[in-house]
Each structure stands twice: as structure tokens, then as C-alpha cells.
């Protein structure tokens, strides 16, 4: 079962696929005067070509038009900058969009917690740090840049954002 959990306090979106944590993504949430609502919702509408202010994908979860969407202002991620929506990097929302059917539960809460790490077989987790490039990360893990790009379906390799979760194939590290 697919499920989306959003932790406003940590500014993280946890995406579950077939009941298991698939990946954690950095997000922007609502400003104090227009907070992202707490509670349990469900995706009821999807749009692959929303208004440009909503980035490259839109998934609505309240009838007050709160949704999960991309952004052309990536510097706003990890901040409280929206009118109540959940904002993601375009490449991240594009990754989960086709995996998110209508009816997917969206649970939004405030809680201090450790970052959840998926228990993927044969993979190691790495979070992009400021100054990282595909080439530097690939060298660190002894894989080729192309393997890193293909394994993570990185759409824009020149634009790695700090906080982005990457999966590193373990089989290459022996």
C-alpha cells in the first residue's frame, strides 16, 4: 500500500510503497499564517501540468486546495514558505507522482524524530551535502557517475540539492 507521511516539524515527506519506506524527501511547508493542515487526508486529484507556480506536478489532498507540488524556487525547500501546501523539488515530486494513485493516504503531523531510513536490500543511503556533485559522490562510493544517475533516476545531475536522499548500490562496494 502506498502512503505519504509529512512531518511539518522536520520538514520531511516519507513516501511508503507496498507498506515499506521507499524514500524521505526534504520539503517546504506552510507559513505560520497559512499552515499546512494537520490530520489524515487522501490524494483526490492529480495534475501532470499544473500552473507554473506549482512546479511540474500537483497532487491535491484537501478540498481547500492544499496539495503536494513541485517548485521553480528550490531555495525555499526546508523552510515555511507556502500557502499551506507541501512543496518539493520538481525532480522529487516527479519521482513519486507516477507511484501515487488517487486515494493514497496523506498523514500530516508535528513530531521531533530521527530521519527514517528505508530498509532497502543491497542499497546504502546517502543524503546530499552542500558542495556535493554526482562525480564526487560516485567517487566516494566507488561507482561511476552514470551508475549513480541511473540507479537514482536523477533527472538533472548538475543540480543536486542538499538533503536529497540517494540510494547507493552496495554490490559495487566490495
Q: How far is CA 169 from CA 11, 92, 105, 147, in A?
A: 27, 19, 30, 9
Cβ-contact 100, 58 below 8 angstroms = no
Is 69 an annotated catalytic residue? yes
* CA atoms of 136 and 47, how far apart (whole Å): 35
Q: For the chain, give the longest Cα–Cα distance.
A: 51
Which residue is catalytic, options 51, 66, 85, 161?
A: 85
Cβ-contact 136, 89 below 8 angstroms = no
Residue with cell 562525480: 135
Which residues form the catalytic set?
Answer: 69, 85
Amino acid at each position: 500500500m502506498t502512503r505519504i507521511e509529512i512531518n511539518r516539524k522536520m520538514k520531511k515527506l516519507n513516501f511508503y510503497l507496498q507498506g515499506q519506506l521507499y524514500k524521505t524527501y526534504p520539503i517546504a511547508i506552510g507559513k505560520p499564517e497559512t499552515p499546512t493542515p494537520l490530520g489524515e487526508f487522501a490524494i483526490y486529484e492529480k495534475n501532470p501540468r499544473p500552473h507554473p507556480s506549482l512546479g511540474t506536478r500537483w497532487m491535491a489532498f484537501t478540498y481547500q486546495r492544499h496539495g503536494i507540488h513541485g517548485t521553480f524556487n528550490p531555495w525555499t525547500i526546508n523552510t515555511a514558505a507556502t500557502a499551506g501546501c507541501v512543496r518539493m523539488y520538481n525532480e522529487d515530486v516527479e519521482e513519486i507522482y507516477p507511484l501515487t494513485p488517487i486515494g493514497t493516504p496523506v498523514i500530516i503531523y508535528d513530531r521531533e524524530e530521527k530521519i527514517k531510513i528505508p530498509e532497502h536490500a543491497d542499497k546504502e543511503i546517502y543524503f546530499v551535502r552542500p558542495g556535493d556533485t554526482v562525480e564526487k559522490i560516485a567517487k566516494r562510493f566507488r561507482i561511476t557517475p552514470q551508475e549513480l544517475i541511473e540507479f537514482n533516476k536523477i533527472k538533472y545531475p548538475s543540480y543536486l540539492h542538499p538533503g536529497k536522499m540517494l540510494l547507493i548500490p552496495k554490490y559495487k562496494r566490495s
